[in-house]
Amino acid sequence: MNLKQKLALRSTLVCAITLLLVFGSIFYLAKSFTTNTFYSRLENRALLSAIIFLEKDELHKKKYQEYEKRYLNTLEQETLQIYDAHNNVAFVPEIPSHPVDAQILDQIRKKGKLNFQADGMQHAGLFYQDNQGDFVIVSSGVYVTGQERLYLLKIILVILFLVGVLINYIFSVLVANKTFKPFSSILRQVNTISTENLNSRLPQLNKPGNELGDLTLTLNTLLERLEAGVNHQKHFLRNVSHELKTPLAAIMGEAELNLEKERSPEEYRQVLQKIVKNTAELNSVIEGLLLISGLANKTSHVKARPFRLDELLWEVLEKLHFKYPDAEVETIMEVEDSEVLQLHSYPELIATAITNIIDNALKFTDDQKVTLRIALNEQGRVALLVQDYGPGIPEQEQEKVFDLFYRGSNTQYLKPGHGVGLSLTKHITHFCHIDLSISSVPHQGTEVKLVFPGA
């Protein structure tokens, strides 16, 4: 069942419930009015009977004729019973099939008047005091005409109910089709979009408060994200294939070259060392790409935990010392409160980001001098500044250094690398909510700044 059919059926259900309540109320009010009207006629009949049997001898002839003309109306299946103070029938013989219970007679005497139903008939009881004694007059009858009218009204209401529900369903289907026609058009247009034409967009309805406009805007935004993701994936695969070919080609070339003739053990050792080096580079690139993918998709399995920034920095410097044993790293600590250095984040990821930044600073600085500073910024947040004194980065390239596989024009042929480290650092800082900025002056050096989130 599609949405249009559901909407039509639910609208019909609401209409059916509404009609049921309205027609039910009409029938109830009509029945109550008919019943009360007949009870009123029975009461008038009882009063006339009292006049006929009890007051006739005391009334003026003209007055009696007036009462008789006013109240004497023949009722269907009419019965009349008059009971004295001892519950004995007086004046009118008791009808055996409709005797009145003594308790009901007592209630009539107490209340003065009582309407009730019994044996399929309606009864009106009246307590009448006369000079001849106290009497209870019970007038009974069946309102056949009223029941016939109620039955006819019931049939009419049932027919109107069914017709009304049917008409409502037909109109609901028509309205639903018209309402969902623009949505069907949008769906047809969306179905024509594939990976080959992701640049296509749905026509935008610039009407405030229009649900179709909101829908097309949302779908266009989704298409923009999909297009950006697909283009990024294509670019990523193209660059990955290019970057992985270089170490793989070097490994294969070294292996094939040395398999052409016998080599000495020392030569084989050198070849294996080159293969190990190229394999390590290849493994480093793959691990970096996998980590970037995990961070971009928020599927990294690392867990946040508390750590101290200064202790993490010492661990990073200790590992880098083996790679750059002659490096001169000056560390300046401007934060005296040790509690401020206590952070809660992902220390393994942050260590990787800091390692990449310091490694780049040492790699592209000829004298391998780097200054590290831990300080507080204007907002009181902990910041780590990494300053090198290398060739710097041209101003037009400073925003590109964090792009995947990008290498600066003044260093790409001087130092080995694949352009993965700083891109990975950018993803890590974004994942850990760390503010990352870079400033550089050509021929003077570069400063990278990390501002960690507050506690």
Per-residue confidence band for 274, with pLDDT thresholds at 50, 70 and 90: confident
- The tens digit of pLDDT for each residue in 20-62 reads 999 999 999 988 888 888 888 888 877 777 776 666 555 454 5
Please name each of the domains of the chain with its CATH number: 3-149 (3.30.450), 211-296 (1.10.287.130), 305-451 (3.30.565.10)
* Cα torsion 440, 444, 445, 450: sign: negative
Share of the chain above pLDDT 70, in %: 78
| Residues whose CB is less than 8 angstroms from the CB of residue 204 and which lie 6 or more positions away in sequence, other chains included | 213, 216, 217, 220
Least confident of 127-141, 211-225, 402-416: 402-416
Share of the chain above pLDDT 90, in %: 8
Cα–Cα distance measured from residue 446 to residue 438, given in angstroms and rounded to the nearest whole number: 7
Cα–Cα distance measured from residue 278 to residue 275, given in angstroms and rounded to the nearest whole number: 5
Per-residue confidence band for 243, with pLDDT thresholds at 50, 70 and 90: low
Crossing angle of helices 309-323 and 347-363, in 10° steps, is 40
Nearest 10 degrees: CA dihedral of 309, 310, 311, 313?
90
Ramachandran category for residue 113: left, alpha or beta (phi over 0 → left; psi -120 to 50 → alpha):
beta
Per-residue confidence band for 76, with pLDDT thresholds at 50, 70 and 90: low
Q: Residue 87 has what pLDDT? A: 82
Q: Residue 46 has what pLDDT? A: 79
Q: Residue 160 has what pLDDT? A: 92
Structure tokens at 117: 């139903």
The b-or-e profile of 78-97 (16+ CB within 10 A means b, else e) is ebbbbbeeeeeebbbebeee
Strands 382-388 and 445-451: antiparallel
* Cα torsion 88, 91, 93, 98: sign: negative
Phi, psi of 454 (to 5 degrees): -70, 165
Q: Residue 242 has what pLDDT? A: 62
Mean pLDDT for all residues in the chain: 78
Per-residue confidence band for 257, with pLDDT thresholds at 50, 70 and 90: confident
Residue 155 pLDDT more than 90? Answer: yes
Q: Residue 294 has what pLDDT? A: 62
Q: Residue 45 has what pLDDT? A: 78
Q: Residue 412 has what pLDDT? A: 47
Structure tokens at 264: 């000495």
